[in-house]
Structure 1
Amino acid sequence: MAITKAAPQDGDTRPDAPAPAPAAAPAAPAPAEEPRRLTSPLALTLLLLLLVLLQSPIRRALSAPVMQSWTTVFVAVVIQALPFLVLGVLLSAAIAVYVPPSFFARALPSRPALAVPVAGMAGAVLPGCECASVPVAGALVRRGVTPAAALAFLLSAPAINPIVLTATAVAFPRNPEMVLARFVASLLVACAMGWLWQRVGRTDWMRPPAHAHHEGQTRGAAFWDSVRHDVTHAGGFLVVGAMAAATLKAVAPESWLRTAAGNPFVAVLALALLAVILSICSEADAFVAASLTQFSLTARLAFLVVGPMIDLKLFAMQAGTFGRGFALRFAPMTFALAIASAVLTGAVLL
């Protein structure tokens, strides 16, 4: 009888059993290449190289009379305004971080009709730029302060605080009445808007902020974070405003400026719209207004009253803090009242 050889079973370790094939080792993944990014040092290096390569054309362009006039106005506005801007940012950051919102709730009268002018006058004592006044007003509403009083403070703080009035006096040394006119016109707008909101405002028009400003940070970190944010944004808007003022002074045809300045209504409306578009910090806008010598003092007063109360950056901040519905109602009324107050105050004091 033939003897058949049994097939090897699983796990059979006999010498005649076929050895299993070794598993292939997984291939090591290729290192991913990091995308090249344009960092700040690289951008600065490229800019310096470009300036070195183009120094001859740049030198010829800057030697032109128009560019010399433009550079003179631009540098003068920036150098005059920058110290006031930095000081105002430091003080407004200190108030926003170290002064608790409960202080305002205790200091304001319980009656809204009286709380509005008191909150408006508080803006003359507590310096605050536009970037700080909006979150502070939001904190006041969140802590139970009547919205009418909080809005009065929001409008008055960046417009009539001591830093702004001092900067106005320095910018208009030959027209000291501009300081009083700016104070009176801005305070009138702040109180009028507060009383108007108390009369016709509805709670569903305003969406109170749901969280505190700088929540989760220490006071020191919140202070320097606020300073860095405000200096960066306000400094950028100051540069843009100084460039616009220098361009109007050096490039715009004199006949155009005379035509716009010759019509009182057009002059006021033009500078009011310019204030909205340029969005200059209130600590620096007086120097830009002072450089617009073609326009009347009343038109320049409209520029100074409108700018700290409603401009492009303020509209965005108000919409983000209180809701878009609030900003769409609040901004046009503030703009109209600011122009009317500036014209009325200018007719009496200027």
Structure 2
Amino acid sequence: MSAPERIAPAQEDPPGEASASSSPPQVRGAAVRALIAERVSSVEVLAALLILLIILRDPLAGLLSAPSLATWTTVFVSVMVQAVPFLVFGVLLSAVIAVFVPRSFWARALPKHPALAVPVASAAGVVLPGCECGAVPIAGSLIRRDVTPAAALAFLLAAPAINPIVLVATAVAFPNNPEMVPARALASLVVAMVMGWLWLRLGRTEWIRLPHRPELDGLRRGEAFWAAVRHDVVHAGGFLVIGAIAAASINVLVPERWLQTLADQPVLSVLALAALAVLLSICSEADAFVAASLSQFSLTSRLVFLVVGPMVDLKLISMQAGVFGRRFAARFAPATFAVAVAAAVVTGAVLL
């Protein structure tokens, strides 16, 4: 029997190179695209945009000089410039509360009787500010720490609406109507307490799925603080930009006579701004400046916008559904909307 023949090992391609004959066209195309993506960085993209702007500078200059676009830019920039400082300050304070205030503090500070805990938790929003993006996880943490859900939900509604940052922003946005500040505070406080007491009467614990915020678990306090700040700035800032764009677009695209016709109808104007507050989903630290730009509408209609927005909007409904469960959000959001509109209209009729 002859000795077995030696089989020469197959010659391998160098690492990172594939034989053209053995690679299908789809693989070769994907490899080329990946190579281009690796070599094209943000610097090249920025350079290309700058070159494009230089080439198109004459058409763009003519477009930017249009009166309607100039008005749009003015409204957008004015809303952003006035609102951003309040938004940043509010997010920082919200992160401090979420990270550095012990969760057990609330269980010790609130009255044992649930009916008495509701107004105390509502009033706590004055001294513990935070935007609605931060109030939802804080309220969830309170429930997990055995705080009665009625008190936690009252705080959830009150904190974004009656805290000092929001009230100061409202005063700055309405310098000629200082009565808007107490009207907003009173109407929002009433809504928070009424919804807390309604939950005591009609709410069920099985509607709430206990929340959990895993992205902050296991982090040191400093890391958790900056993680909360980044999260809230990205979310709240994004919605602020959308709100400013919407406010500027309304002032430019919607004919003045349409807005005036709608504003002249008391019921329609209230319902329109209530629905607009839900759709725009603006952070409470910045919504007063958007409301102030809607000068065609009455103060009562704009008060409805300011009361409804921090309590019921698209982002809050989605956050509440994710934190507390869909069964909770499907019941809590419509009830809060109705109570907020009614409280704002009554308060506006009395104070404005």
Is TM-score (shorter-chain normalized) higher than 0.5? Answer: yes
The separation in 2 between residues aligned to 1:166 and 1:323, in whole angstroms, is 33
Give the match for residue 56 of structure 2.
54
SS for the counterpart of 2:9 is coil
Contact 1:139 1:212 in 2 (8 A): no
Give the match for residue 24 of structure 2.
none
Tell me which moved more, 190-199 or 65-74: 65-74
Give the match for residue 13 of structure 1.
none
The residue type equivalent to 1:74 in the other structure is: F
Give the match for residue 31 of structure 1.
16
TM-align CA RMSD: 1.8
The separation in 2 between residues aligned to 1:344 and 1:42, in whole angstroms, is 58
For residues 328 and 48 of structure 1, do their structure 2 counterparts lie closer, same or farther at Cα, with a shift above 3 Å needed?
farther
For residues 21 and 40 of structure 1, do their structure 2 counterparts lie closer, same or farther at Cα, with a shift above 3 Å needed?
same
Cα deviation, 1:280-314, whole Å, max 9, x if unaligned, reads 11001000100110000000001100111111111
Tell me which moved more, 147-156 or 49-58: 49-58
The separation in 2 between residues aligned to 1:328 and 1:43, in whole angstroms, is 44
The residue type equivalent to 2:7 in the other structure is: P
Deviation at 1:56, TM superposition (A): 1.6
The separation in 2 between residues aligned to 1:203 and 1:140, in whole angstroms, is 14
The separation in 1 between residues aligned to 2:264 and 2:343, in whole angstroms, is 21
Give the match for residue 123 of structure 1.
125
1:180 aligns with 2:182: yes
1:200 to 199, 202, 208: 202
SS for the counterpart of 2:295 is coil
Deviation at 1:27, TM superposition (A): 2.6
1:288 aligns with 2:273: no
The separation in 2 between residues aligned to 1:129 and 1:40, in whole angstroms, is 33
For residues 301 and 43 of structure 1, do their structure 2 counterparts lie closer, same or farther at Cα, with a shift above 3 Å needed?
farther
The separation in 1 between residues aligned to 2:112 and 2:277, in whole angstroms, is 35
Percent of residue pairs bearing the same amino acid type: 65
Cα deviation, 1:173-213, whole Å, max 9, x if unaligned, reads 01000000000000000001000011000111111114566
Give the match for residue 251 of structure 1.
253
Gaps spanning 5+ residues in structure 2: where? 18-30
Give the match for residue 320 of structure 2.
318
Gaps spanning 5+ residues in structure 1: where? 1-7, 9-16
For residues 126 and 213 of structure 1, do their structure 2 counterparts lie closer, same or farther at Cα, with a shift above 3 Å needed?
farther
For residues 199 and 291 of structure 1, do their structure 2 counterparts lie closer, same or farther at Cα, with a shift above 3 Å needed?
same
1:307 aligns with 2:292: no
The separation in 2 between residues aligned to 1:289 and 1:80, in whole angstroms, is 13
TM-score of the two chains, using structure 2 as the length reference: 0.91
1:272 aligns with 2:274: yes
The residue type equivalent to 1:309 in the other structure is: M
Give the match for residue 145 of structure 1.
147
TM-score of the two chains, using structure 1 as the length reference: 0.91
Contact 2:137 2:213 in 1 (8 A): no
SS for the counterpart of 2:216 is coil
Tell me which moved more, 195-204 or 50-59: 50-59
1:169 aligns with 2:171: yes
Tell me which moved more, 323-332 or 248-257: 248-257
1:22 to 7, 25, 43: 7
For residues 302 and 45 of structure 1, do their structure 2 counterparts lie closer, same or farther at Cα, with a shift above 3 Å needed?
farther
Give the match for residue 3 of structure 1.
none
For residues 29 and 67 of structure 1, do their structure 2 counterparts lie closer, same or farther at Cα, with a shift above 3 Å needed?
same
What are the equivalent positions in structure 2 for 1:74-93 lying under 5 Å apart? 74-93=76-95
For residues 215 and 42 of structure 1, do their structure 2 counterparts lie closer, same or farther at Cα, with a shift above 3 Å needed?
farther
For residues 42 and 183 of structure 1, do their structure 2 counterparts lie closer, same or farther at Cα, with a shift above 3 Å needed?
farther
The separation in 1 between residues aligned to 2:239 and 2:311, in whole angstroms, is 15
Deviation at 1:45, TM superposition (A): 4.0
The separation in 2 between residues aligned to 1:26 and 1:98, in whole angstroms, is 63
The separation in 2 between residues aligned to 1:39 and 1:345, in whole angstroms, is 55
The separation in 2 between residues aligned to 1:159 and 1:89, in whole angstroms, is 14
The separation in 2 between residues aligned to 1:120 and 1:42, in whole angstroms, is 52
Deviation at 1:58, TM superposition (A): 1.5
The separation in 2 between residues aligned to 1:93 and 1:288, in whole angstroms, is 25
Give the match for residue 241 of structure 2.
239
Contact 2:140 2:212 in 1 (8 A): no
Contact 1:158 1:308 in 2 (8 A): yes
Deviation at 1:216, TM superposition (A): 1.3
The separation in 2 between residues aligned to 1:188 and 1:221, in whole angstroms, is 37
The residue type equivalent to 1:238 in the other structure is: L
Give the match for residue 71 of structure 2.
69
Contact 1:123 1:156 in 2 (8 A): yes
Give the match for residue 344 of structure 1.
346
SS for the counterpart of 2:279 is helix
Following TM superposition, where does structure 1 have runs of at least 4 consecutive aligned residues deviating by more than 4 angstroms? 36-43, 210-213
Count of aligned pairs between the two proteins: 335
For residues 46 and 65 of structure 1, do their structure 2 counterparts lie closer, same or farther at Cα, with a shift above 3 Å needed?
same
Contact 1:139 1:213 in 2 (8 A): no
Give the match for residue 27 of structure 2.
none
Deviation at 1:68, TM superposition (A): 1.3
